């Protein structure tokens, strides 16, 4: 099928169009300060908040947190036959630590359904209620949670491309004591489907192919081999920082993922054609520290489809790292 003279991509699926255009996913992670993963039973509407099983009062509790100054994002996850408990709702709270960090702080609660909304209020502005939540807290701080977008009612790509990746991860790699795999609502960037987030690190991946899944989970292949699937680390605010950090990950390897990091944009053009960024780092025991300085520049543009359907293609600028220099300070 052709529309308006444009190439007839597979069913006008945004992920197929984006892939064919050569659009790179780097720099597309969603940064956050606070994120909640909440079990929500199916079926889901395109807007998961409009779903019939969306917890009553949860939206108002989230808006209350925003009004109090907490930038909170929420992702729904489907209850899992192995992980979930009838009559209870799992709430996973991820918080950005102060200062440099490698992974988001994580708290998890398995709450009676009626306690979910009060628990959200306690997390954001009612600290005197937090003590009451302790009896529901789970000792899963070290458990890795991979959430895969399979939200086909939001965009067809997420169901078509996301579910097979979820199924492979769940069947071949899940371990309730070490790695849980969840079906998730919209994560942003469905044109990079299949897409997922690896928590508590908060690293986004997209365009995943079957041969990449084992390496992503085990990290026993060079990080550079997964570079084309890397969307970015959500601990960095700007796409420029994320693009630079992705290049550093490819250079340093997986040990970099465990380094405490923070980034900032030193300078940027008004038209966002070029930016200079700095990423500071140190390893957990303080024996290696320093910074990377990078120059990220526009390298052209592609025409892509933001959402599946018949909307016109949009021009999206592409970037690459033109300069990258490491300054090591040694131990502290």
Identify the sign of the CA torsion 13, 23, 217, 100: negative
Peptide bond into 59 cis (omega under 30): no
Q: What are phi and psi of 136, to 5 degrees?
A: -105, 5
- DSSP, res 169: H
What are phi and psi for residue 78, nearest 5 degrees? Answer: -75, 135
Q: For residues 69 and 33, what is the distance between their CA atoms, to the nearest angstrom?
A: 11
Listed in sequence order, the residues at least 6 apart from 135 whose beta carbon sits closer than 8 Å to its beta carbon are none
- The domain spans of the chain are 10-29+143-330, 34-136
Name the stretches of the chain with pLDDT < 50: 1-10, 332
> Whole-prediction pTM value?
0.93
The CATH T-level fold of domain 34-136 is Dihydrodipicolinate Reductase; domain 2 (3.30.360)
**pLDDT over 70, % of the chain:** 95
Exposed, middle or buried, 177 (CB in 10 Å: 0-12/13-18/19+)?
Answer: exposed
pLDDT of 268-314, one tens digit each?
Answer: 999 999 999 999 999 999 999 999 999 999 999 999 999 998 789 99
Query: Which residues lie closer than 8 Å to 50 by C-beta, 6 or more apart?
Result: none
Dist. CA 50–CA 54, nearest whole Å: 7
Maximum alpha-carbon separation in the chain: 62
DSSP 160: H
Q: Between 3.20.20.80, 3.40.50.1110, 3.40.50.2300, 3.40.30.10, what CATH number should domain 10-29+143-330 receive?
A: 3.40.30.10
User: Is residue 63 exposed (0-12), middle (13-18) or buried (19+ Cβ within 10 Å)?
Assistant: exposed
pLDDT of residue 6: 40
């Amino acid at each position: 099928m052709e529309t308006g003279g444009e190439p007839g991509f597979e069913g006008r699926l945004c992920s197929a169009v984006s892939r064919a255009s050569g659009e790179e996913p780097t720099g597309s992670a969603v940064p956050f300060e606070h994120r909640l993963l909440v079990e929500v039973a199916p079926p889901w509407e395109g807007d998961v908040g409009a779903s019939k099983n969306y917890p009553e009062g949860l939206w108002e509790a989230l808006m209350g947190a925003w009004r109090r100054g907490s930038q909170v994002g929420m992702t729904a996850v489907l209850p899992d036959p192995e992980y979930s408990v009838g009559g209870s709702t799992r709430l996973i709270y991820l918080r950005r630590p102060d200062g440099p960090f490698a992974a988001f702080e994580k708290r998890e609660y398995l709450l009676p359904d009626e306690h979910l909304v009060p628990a959200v209020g306690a997390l954001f502005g009612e600290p005197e209620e937090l003590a009451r939540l302790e009896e529901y807290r789970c000792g899963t701080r070290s458990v890795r949670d991979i959430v895969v977008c399979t939200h086909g009612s939001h965009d067809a790509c997420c169901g078509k491309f996301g579910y097979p990746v979820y199924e492979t991860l769940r069947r071949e790699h899940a371990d309730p004591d070490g790695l849980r795999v969840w079906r998730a609502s919209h994560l942003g960037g469905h044109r990079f489907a299949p897409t997922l987030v690896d928590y508590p690190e908060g690293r986004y991946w997209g365009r995943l192919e079957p041969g990449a899944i084992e390496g992503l989970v085990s990290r026993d292949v060079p990080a550079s081999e997964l570079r084309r699937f890397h969307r970015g680390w959500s601990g960095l605010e700007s796409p420029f920082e994320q693009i630079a950090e992705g290049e550093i990950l490819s250079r340093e390897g997986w040990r970099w993922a465990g380094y405490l990091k923070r980034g900032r944009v030193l300078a940027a053009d008004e038209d966002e054609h070029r930016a200079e960024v700095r990423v500071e780092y140190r390893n957990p025991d303080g024996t290696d520290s320093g910074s990377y300085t990078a120059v990220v520049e526009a390298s052209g543009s592609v025409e892509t489809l933001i959402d599946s359907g018949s909307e016109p293609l949009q021009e999206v600028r592409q970037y690459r790292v033109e300069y990258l220099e490491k300054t090591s300070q040694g131990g502290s």
